[in-house]
Amino acid sequence: MVRLLRLGTLHGPMQQPWRYKYLEALYQRRLEAGPEQPRFRSAFTNWNYEAELYACTHRFGENIHTDVLRRALTDASFMKQVVEQRAEAGLDQVERSMLPVSDNEELARRGEEIASHYIKQVLRYWYPKFPEEGIEAVTAFLLSETTVAYISERLGFKTIIRCDTPVPRPATMKNALMAFIGAINESSDQQRAEAFTADFILTHLVGKDINEIWHISNPMGLLSKILEANGRQPAESRLIWATGVSSVLSTYVVGVYSGKEFLGKNYGNTIALAEEMAARDALRRYFETSEERAPIPFDKLKHMNFTSRLKP
Amino acid sequence: MNVLIISIRSSTISQLLKPSCISSSLLSLRQWHNFEEITPAKYVKSNLQNGLGRYVCQLQRLTIKFCKEFRTSFGVRDYIEHDLVTFAKKYPMVAIYLQPRRHRTPTLTAEYLNGCEQNLKITSCSRQQVNWWVHYLLTQQGDSTVRYLKQMHSDSPSTQGIWTPYTNKPLDRILRTYPDDELREIEDPDYLYPSATKQIQQLFDKQQQQEDEEKHV
């Protein structure tokens, strides 16, 4: 804007025409060059991997040995790349495979085992009536590649992972975080690894509804099964209210009852929809996972003993 | 951001007003109504529910760029000489780098866990001021500071529940015999116990009727 306004004046870009043309040319060349290619963070001058590893252990208040942490942050793709480079350099088979560090596959597997076990324990403890299938689904969501890669990126692992691409793949990001949990387990103990899981992975549930994470395809069928198993009367849907039946904004309220006992109710634009939603509401009430349920007490998890109230 | 759209129906004028020919007065036409429309804004959000489980310092690495000769870096040099080692020992979670750059302005470059980077020029700052700026960067989350939006939130949703067309309606209407006066009263509050206005209207109507009847008779 300023440039346009001052174009014909003494103070504008035409004051020094050669400079104006020179900068224009530079600008055009920059546009032609296109966007900058992503680079490894380690390619920059201000990079000291030892210092980064030291900072990484202290960031989370963990006491991990540097060698274990180095192993946890080394991806399989990096090792593969090193072997290829050695082959190109003309080293023989024995020298190629003699590497000072191994990759993080083993640690990642152990870390995922611990995290999965712990998350299931907490969910079973806090939602004792929630079925096992649902707990499996929520655990799978929390340990999915998308979720864990997001958490891993936001915890600063993106730059300190050693892998073959400047921008790590989601699978690499996930492996690094899981291997970090494994490394805590190896250096300290399992309690600390579990506390890390609680603080960074389980807190991803904040603001999310676990009923939506576990999608039930046929809620009425499940409700009937549960009632049958408990020896109660079969579920029966009854229309409670209806408004604007002949209009576009029709609303039906359907309640689900077992005999004279109220199970749940919900709204819908059609009766079928309202019935399905009512069945979902009944299930929520039965599982005790409705919206007004207190959230998981993240600050008290480390003092809890889950083994005493475990399901058989 | 808003895009300046000029629609002129006449073909001759539109040929004249090609983008290169638009005068500055036309460009300065304001297409937005209030300042909030075009300024960036966001909700207050911490990185990954930081502090819910444990607090993690968000500053990942700090690069101090300074000159060894110029007067503008004197405070930075002082800070590095006297305070930096203490700082590094106190905050081991931050990776610190020193980059001497000849004859440039001293800069603090902070990289954060969420991938953001902040650059701060600290020309001619004293040792204490440098210390302040370093702690300013240390206690940041790293995201740009823009206008914050309010996010209405309630830990305990309304006990009564939100209003629906069925709120405070009787639930025993299936068991009643119709016509039911009480239900009628809900639909038409003046039905059982009419208001004073309604009573006067009714009296007036009755009077009119009587007068009509008398006329006919």
Averaged confidence pLDDT in chain A: 90
Taking the CA atoms of A175, A179, A180 and A185 in sequence, report the sign of the dihedral they define.
Answer: positive
Give the per-residue pLDDT at B1.
38
Residues of A in contact with B57 (CB under 8 A): 59
- Which is it for strands B59-66 and B95-100: parallel, antiparallel or unpaired? parallel
Is A217-287 in CATH node 3.30.70.260? no
CA distance B95 to chain A (A): 6
Q: Please report the ipTM that was assigned to this predicted complex.
A: 0.83
Residues of B in contact with A159 (CB under 8 A): 60
Give the per-residue pLDDT at B199.
92
Give the per-residue pLDDT at B35.
79
| For testing contact with chain B, the best of A9, A49, A119, A199 (most B CBs within 10 A) | A199
Q: Do A155 and B113 touch (CB under 8 A)?
A: yes
Mean pLDDT is highest, among A113-117, B19-23, B155-159, for A113-117
Percentage of chain A with pLDDT > 70?
A: 94
Level-2 CATH architecture, domain B59-145: 3-Layer(aba) Sandwich (3.40)
Give the per-residue pLDDT at A223.
95
User: Phi and psi at residue A179, in whole multiples of 5°?
Assistant: -65, -30
Q: Please report the residues numbered 71 through 100 in chain B whose beta carbons come closer than 8 angstroms to any beta carbon of chain A.
A: 92-97, 99
- Going by pLDDT thresholds of 50, 70 and 90, the confidence category of residue B144 is confident
Q: Do B54 and A60 touch (CB under 8 A)?
A: yes
Give the per-residue pLDDT at A13.
65
Cβ contacts below 8 Å, chain A against chain B, sum to: 81
List pLDDT tens digits, range A245-301: 888 889 999 999 999 999 999 999 999 999 999 999 999 999 999 888 898 998 888
User: Nearest-CA residue of chain A relative to B63?
Assistant: A46
Tokens of B49: 């529910």
Residues of A in contact with B63 (CB under 8 A): 46
* Of A9 and A227, the one with more pLDDT: A227
Give the per-residue pLDDT at B79.
97
Out of B30-34, B69-73, B88-92, B116-120, pick the least confident.
B30-34
Residues of A in contact with B48 (CB under 8 A): 151, 154-155, 200, 203-204
| For testing contact with chain A, the best of B113, B151, B173, B175 (most A CBs within 10 A) | B113
User: Nearest-CA residue of chain A relative to B166?
Assistant: A241
**Rg, chain A, Cα only:** 29
Percentage of chain B with pLDDT > 90?
A: 51
Among chain A, residues having any CB pair with chain B shorter than 8 Å are: 1, 4-5, 45-48, 51-52, 54-55, 58-61, 151, 153-156, 158-159, 195, 198-200, 202-204, 206, 240-241, 243, 251, 253, 267, 291-292, 298-299
Q: Do A154 and B47 touch (CB under 8 A)?
A: yes
DSSP-assigned letters across all residues of A1-67: -HHHHTTTSTTSGGGSHHHHHHHHHHHHHHHHH-SPPP--GGGSSS--HHHHHHHHHHHTT----HH
List pLDDT tens digits, range A231-259: 999 999 999 888 888 888 899 999 999 99
Domain boundaries, chain A: 2-33, 49-210, 217-287
Out of A154-158, B56-60, B192-196, pick the least confident.
B192-196
Is the CB of residue B109 less than 8 Å from the CB of residue B119? yes
* Of A245 and A4, the one with more pLDDT: A245
- Going by pLDDT thresholds of 50, 70 and 90, the confidence category of residue A312 is very low
Residues of B in contact with A5 (CB under 8 A): 24
Burial class (CB in 10 A: 0-12, 13-18, 19+), A312: exposed
* Of B3 and B184, the one with more pLDDT: B184
Out of B47, B52, B165, closest to residue A206 by CB: B52
Rounded Cα gap, residues A123 and A289, in angstroms: 11
Give the per-residue pLDDT at A47.
96
Give the per-residue pLDDT at B2.
40
Give the per-residue pLDDT at A307.
65
| For testing contact with chain B, the best of A3, A42, A45, A46 (most B CBs within 10 A) | A46
Helices (H), A188-295: 190-200, 210-213, 219-229, 271-287
Whether pLDDT at B22 is above 50: no
Q: Do A253 and B56 touch (CB under 8 A)?
A: no
Give the per-residue pLDDT at B153.
67
CA distance A88 to chain B (A): 34
Residues of A in contact with B156 (CB under 8 A): 292
Q: Do B53 and A154 touch (CB under 8 A)?
A: no
Q: Do B60 and A156 touch (CB under 8 A)?
A: yes
Out of B52, B61, B63, closest to residue A203 by CB: B52
Out of B48, B57, B156, closest to residue A151 by CB: B48
Percentage of chain A with pLDDT > 90?
A: 72
Give the per-residue pLDDT at B14.
46
Going by C-alpha positions, the residue among A49, A31, A11 that lies closest to residue A160 is A49
| For testing contact with chain B, the best of A59, A63, A205 (most B CBs within 10 A) | A59
- Going by pLDDT thresholds of 50, 70 and 90, the confidence category of residue B43 is confident
Out of A47-51, A100-104, A183-187, pick the least confident.
A100-104
Rounded Cα gap, residues A144 and B153, in angstroms: 29
Q: Average of pLDDT values for B141-145?
A: 88
Number of separate helices (H) and strands (E) present in chain A = 15, 3
Domain boundaries, chain B: 11-43, 59-145
- Going by pLDDT thresholds of 50, 70 and 90, the confidence category of residue A8 is low
Whether pLDDT at B25 is above 70: no
Level-2 CATH architecture, domain A49-210: Orthogonal Bundle (1.10)
Rounded Cα gap, residues A200 and A52, in angstroms: 20
Our CA angle for B197, B198, B199, nearest 5°, is 90
List pLDDT tens digits, range A48-88: 999 999 999 999 999 999 999 999 999 999 999 988 888 88
- Going by pLDDT thresholds of 50, 70 and 90, the confidence category of residue A178 is very high
Rounded Cα gap, residues B20 and A130, in angstroms: 66
Give the per-residue pLDDT at A7.
67
In order of A274, B13, B162, B187, B199, the CA distances from A252 in angstroms are 6, 58, 16, 20, 38
Whether pLDDT at B59 is above 90: yes
* Of A8 and B35, the one with more pLDDT: B35
Question: Coil, helix or strand for B108?
Answer: strand
